[in-house]
Amino acid sequence: MRRPMIAGNWKMNGSPADAAVLARELRLALLDLPAVDVVVFPPYLSISGVVDTLKGVDISVGTQDIHPEDGGAFTGNVAGPMIRASGCTFVLVGHSERRSYEKESGSYLARKVQAALRNNLTPIFCCGETLDDRESGRALEVVRTQLREGLGELTPTELSRLVIAYEPVWAIGTGRVASPEQAQEVHAAIRAWIGTTWDSGTARAMRILYGGSVKPGNVVGIMEQEDIDGALVGGASLKAETFEGIVRFQSSRS
Ligand code: PGA
């Protein structure tokens, strides 16, 4: 049985004080956490306040990026050992905004995955096609290439320490969510690819999250799909009330 995971990507929003307020609200809202893993990804400068606020509750904290090296002359970057020392346990790797705006390539992302694993951080590895890719029938091929480039060199043990997030670029921040069936098709293909590239046990155990305009009103249909194990939430994670509504998807279902 794969335990569901709901992750909130706060992106480049809010001051450290705003982030601490949001963390305090989440702490109160999610005191009685359902059987779901919850992770939040604040901006770097807000990490320490959020980690402090969430001490003693079962909500994990992660960073939105990591540098491939563990330290040195890399102005403006943040390394795995610093992330770990700040109390984080998760890292986002390969978010589409970094792939497109920061021009991060597949081989560069593979090094970031290694850096995360080396530093005992759980990478959430993001993949997803553009609207062009989808309309030209290349969605699955593009996603498989991203996965092969980013994860292809991992051993089954390394792979089992990671979470995958499928986020179609055309559904991120657009309000245009993939239908549960469209998402399920890609999730099933990802699981099948893991099964043939590694083995069926690794494929069965892999958590694959869906991301792209997830809200309290559409999360139930998404989570009902067999191969969808959780959600990576952007916009709707910036308000405690809507994020709580997503985390509690099981109670809206029953
Ligand atoms: P969204 O973002 O929920 O605002 O579409 C998702 C993401 O980018 O992770």
Summarize pLDDT for 83-140 with one digit per residue, the tens.
999 999 999 999 999 999 999 999 999 999 999 999 999 999 999 999 999 999 999 9
Dihedral of CA atoms 37, 215, 97, 86 in degrees, nearest 10, equals: -30
Span 218-251, pLDDT tens digits:
999 999 999 999 999 999 999 999 999 999 998 8
Q: How many angstroms does the Cα of residue 117 sit away from the middle of ligand 1?
A: 24
Burial class (CB in 10 A: 0-12, 13-18, 19+), 77: middle
Amino acid at 27: R
pLDDT digits (tens, 9 = 90+) for 146-186: 999 999 999 999 999 999 999 999 999 898 889 999 999 99
CATH code given to domain 5-253: 3.20.20.70
Question: How far is the C-alpha of 224 from the C-alpha of 70, rounded, in Å?
Answer: 40
Active site members: 95, 167
- Verdict on whether the full-model pTM lies above 0.95: yes
Between the two ends of the chain, the Cα-to-Cα distance in Å is 19
The answer, yes or no, to whether any atom of ligand 1 lies below 6 A from the CB of 168, is no
Q: How many angstroms does the Cα of residue 183 sit away from the middle of ligand 1?
A: 14
pLDDT at residue number 253? 59
The residue whose CB lies within 8 Å of the most ligand 1 atoms, and thus the one to mutate among 214, 222, 237, is 214
State whether the beta carbon of 237 lies less than 6 angstroms from ligand 1. no
Instruction: Report CA(178)–ligand 1 centroid distance (Å).
Output: 12
For ligand 1, atom 6, which residue shows the shortest CA distance? 234
For residue 251, give Cα distances in angstroms to 4, 25, 177, 247: 14, 20, 22, 9
Residues near 35 by beta carbon (within 8 Å), at least 6 away in sequence: 3, 4, 250
